[in-house]
Amino acid sequence: MPFVDEIRAAQIAFVCTEIGRGHPHYLDGLADQLSRKYPDIMCYKTDVFAASGGLPRLAWGLVRNLYIWGSKGGIISSLYGSLRRVGQSRQSFSGLLGILGRDVEKRLTRFSGHVVVSHPLLAAILSARFRVIYQHGELVVPAEAIVSGCQGILVPLPETAERFIKGGIPASQIMVTGLCVESALLPTASADYSRRIDRLQADMRLTVALFSSGACPPPHLKKIVLMTVALVAGGHRPIIFTGHSENLAGWFSKKLRQAGVKHDDSPTSGAPAIVVRSESRDHENRRVAYLSNEIDLFAAPAHERTNWALGLGIPQLILAPHVGSYAPLNAYLALSRNVAIEVTSELDARGICTTLDSLRRGGELARMAARGFGRISLEGFAAGADHIAQMSSR
């Protein structure tokens, strides 16, 4: 098995934050591809909560809570953003960084292989003592994402690389991989796209997948409910993915019952609306992949799934407001490439069917899909695994 229980037996160590979905999702995909393509490379995987105890674990819990509470915006959101800008503000947070890193560094003591992380906070903490490969799977680069001292930085696009270079990172340390799209979606991506184009061009029921971010901002949840009600009334099929949160799945079910919308929790159900809860990120990826041949559009904040709009040819309905520093930049990128539209208000959410019908009649939905398919490599995880394998052999 390429994954081992003891770090001393490993050549590569993956360390995850388990905060939100985006950064952990990127690390999951990279670790999975490395284990598949290079079974002779022994890997070890942990996360900051499993590796920490006592005060450090409490400190990581505070960071996670700042992420969740920050979804409401305001001063807490600003504090979480400031904390992530450790690459430029080590002095301001040196005490907290020492606490956060204490047990993780202890876990890595005497480990001489490469340490792979996908969160700038971990990259900044560990790069001073270890051979860090920093996977920046996001399309855009806010200031907080630029961290110096890493041996290698994996990025999806040449434009992403250029932003790091302008931020002072040597070009020799940066490797462009392509988009980090879930591997389970790739084998059928071309066939799924062809069927999607047919439906977007015809007068047929549309299937819309709806996602919140890991922080579940209340305005986004409200828009998802309003859009689901409108889509059902308009004869379309909404599928809400709630991650592995029982509370969130229950909340959506309650709101749909109150709105008089019949729904089920099975992806294969014929109910007008579906609310899907998964056991884990991997389980959700597999459920999404199972339904990928049916998905025509998706609604989500402008975070990691913006890759779908740019690479898979699935038009995106971007949920506003934009929370954090990545979302507005990702939204601008998707909107500038004309592969997405924004749902900025509750009125937009209620009127989503009118908007989609208008876009479809004018052929714009099909054009949005076409602008986002076949133009950028979707092999970001596989290419990233190749780079890690090459670096580990040096």
Band (393; pLDDT cuts 50, 70, 90): confident
- Please indicate, yes or no, if residue 271 is contained in any of the structural domains: yes
pLDDT score at 85:
53
pLDDT tens digits, one per residue of 333-359: 999 999 999 999 999 999 999 999 999
Per-residue exposure over 97-135, b if at least 16 CB sit within 10 Å of its own CB, e if not: bebbbbbbbebbeebebbbbbbbbbbbbbbbeebbbbbb
Provide mean pLDDT across the span 272-281.
93
Q: Which amino acid is residue 273, in one-letter code? A: A
pLDDT score at 297:
98
pLDDT score at 338:
98
- Do 242 and 365 belong to one domain? yes
| Domain span holding position 387 | 7-178+379-392
Mean pLDDT of the chain: 91
Q: How far apart are CA 193 and CA 296, in angstroms?
A: 9
Residue 80 has pLDDT above 60, yes or no: no
- Please indicate, yes or no, if residue 75 is contained in any of the structural domains: yes
Residue 199 has pLDDT above 50, yes or no: yes
Q: Judge residue 202's burial from the number of C-beta atoms within 10 Å of its C-beta, 0-12 exposed, 13-18 middle, 19 or more buried.
A: exposed
Q: How far apart are CA 365 and CA 349, in angstroms?
A: 17
Cα angle 22, 59, 282; round to 5: 30
Q: Out of 15-19, 50-54, 84-88, 312-316, pick the least confident.
A: 84-88
Q: Judge residue 335's burial from the number of C-beta atoms within 10 Å of its C-beta, 0-12 exposed, 13-18 middle, 19 or more buried.
A: middle
**What pTM did the predictor assign?**
0.91
Q: How far apart are CA 31 and CA 388, in angstroms?
A: 10
pLDDT score at 268:
82
Q: How far apart are CA 17 and CA 47, in angstroms?
A: 6
- Do 170 and 218 belong to one domain? no
Residue 55 has pLDDT above 80, yes or no: yes
pLDDT tens digits, one per residue of 126-166: 998 999 999 999 999 998 899 999 999 999 999 999 999 99
CATH of the domain at 297: 3.40.50.2000
8 A C-beta contact, residue 252 and residue 224: yes
Specify the higher pLDDT residue, 64 or 160: 160
- Please indicate, yes or no, if residue 1 is contained in any of the structural domains: no
Q: Inter-axis angle of helices 246-258 and 218-233, to 10 degrees?
A: 50
> SS3 for 187?
coil
pLDDT score at 62:
87
Neighbouring CB atoms inside 10 A of 233's CB total 14
- Do 262 and 222 belong to one domain? yes
Any alpha helices (H) in 188-280, and if so which ranges? 189-201, 218-233, 246-258
pLDDT tens digits, one per residue of 298-319: 999 999 999 999 999 999 999 9
- Do 40 and 122 belong to one domain? yes
Q: Which of 274, 298, 302 is nearest to 356 (CA)?
A: 298
- Do 205 and 267 belong to one domain? yes
Band (122; pLDDT cuts 50, 70, 90): very high
pLDDT score at 82:
52
- Do 314 and 248 belong to one domain? yes
Residue 179 has pLDDT above 50, yes or no: yes
Strand order in the sheet with 297-300: 263-264, 273-276, 237-241, 207-211, 297-300, 316-319, 340-343
pLDDT tens digits, one per residue of 215-253: 788 999 999 999 999 999 999 999 999 988 899 999 999
CATH of the domain at 57: 3.40.50
Total domains in the chain come to 2
Band (70; pLDDT cuts 50, 70, 90): low
Neighbouring CB atoms inside 10 A of 219's CB total 17
Provide mean pLDDT across the span 291-301.
96
- Do 153 and 270 belong to one domain? no
Residue 78 has pLDDT above 60, yes or no: no
Band (64; pLDDT cuts 50, 70, 90): confident
Provide mean pLDDT across the span 283-295.
93
- Do 34 and 126 belong to one domain? yes
Length of the chain: 394
- Do 232 and 334 belong to one domain? yes
Percent of the chain with pLDDT over 90: 80
Q: How far apart are CA 288 and CA 321, in angstroms?
A: 25
- Do 317 and 388 belong to one domain? no
Any alpha helices (H) in the chain, and if so which ranges? 22-37, 48-51, 54-69, 74-84, 94-107, 120-126, 158-166, 189-201, 218-233, 246-258, 281-291, 306-311, 326-336, 346-350, 352-361, 364-371, 380-392
- Please indicate, yes or no, if residue 2 is contained in any of the structural domains: no
Q: Which of 93, 86, 85 is nearest to 326 (CA)?
A: 85
- Do 256 and 151 belong to one domain? no
> SS3 for 339?
coil
Q: Inter-axis angle of helices 364-371 and 189-201, to 10 degrees?
A: 160
- Do 109 and 201 belong to one domain? no
Band (267; pLDDT cuts 50, 70, 90): confident
